Homo-oligomer: A and B are copies of this chain.
Amino acid sequence: MREEIVEAALAQFHERGFNAAAVKDITDRAGVPKGSFYNHFESKEALAIVALERYGNGGRLTELADSSVEPVARIRAHFEGMRDDMISSGITRGCLLGNFGAEIVDHSEPIRAGVRAGLERWSGLLAGAIAEGQEAGGIPRELNADQTARYLLSAWEGTLIQARAFKSAEPFEIFFGITFGSLFKG
Contact = CB atoms under 8 A, between A and B. Distances in A.
Interface of A: 15-17, 19-20, 92-94, 97-99, 101-107, 112, 115-116, 119, 140, 142-144, 147-148, 150-151, 153-162, 164-167, 171, 174-175, 177-178, 182-183, 186
A165 B15 contact: no
Contacts of A140: 182
Contacts of A148: 178
Nearest to A147: B174
A154 B159 contact: yes
A142 to B, nearest CB: 7
A69 to B, nearest CB: 25
Nearest to A164: B105
Nearest to A118: B165
Contacts of A103: 17, 19-20, 99, 102-103
A147 B183 contact: no
Contacts of A142: 182
Given A16-B107, A99-B103, A103-B102, A150 B174 contact: yes
Nearest to A157: B158
5 contacts: A20-B107, A103-B103, A112-B165, A155-B158, A157-B161
A160 B112 CA distance: 13
Contact of A161 (B102, B151, B162, B186): B102
Contacts of A158: 98, 153-158
Contacts of A182: 140, 142-143, 183, 186
